[in-house]
Amino acid sequence: PFNTELMIEADSKISQISFYNTLGQVIKTQEASDKKIILNNVDLQNGIYFLHIETEKGMVIKKVLKD
């Protein structure tokens, strides 16, 4: 779970991060260009989100909880 800060780390360079709600709607998208990203002041309501992390090697989907 995370509150206002979320750290994302990957083996290869991250190009884009997208938050999807449980209905499959895109809530927030952010461009990136590093292997480690720290998102500060994540302005989302509390709940479950699916994080789509696009890297040079492909895409990974992770389930995260904002509380």
- Mean local confidence (pLDDT), 14-37: 95
**Mean pLDDT score of the chain, rounded to an integer?**
93
Closest CA to 19 of 57, 47, 34: 47
Q: How far apart are CA 26 and CA 5, in angstroms?
A: 19
Q: Does residue 40 register a pLDDT over 90? A: no
- Mean local confidence (pLDDT), 11-28: 96
- Output the CA torsion sign for 50, 55, 59, 62: negative
pTM for this structure?
0.88
Q: Where are the alpha helices (DSSP H) in the chain?
A: none
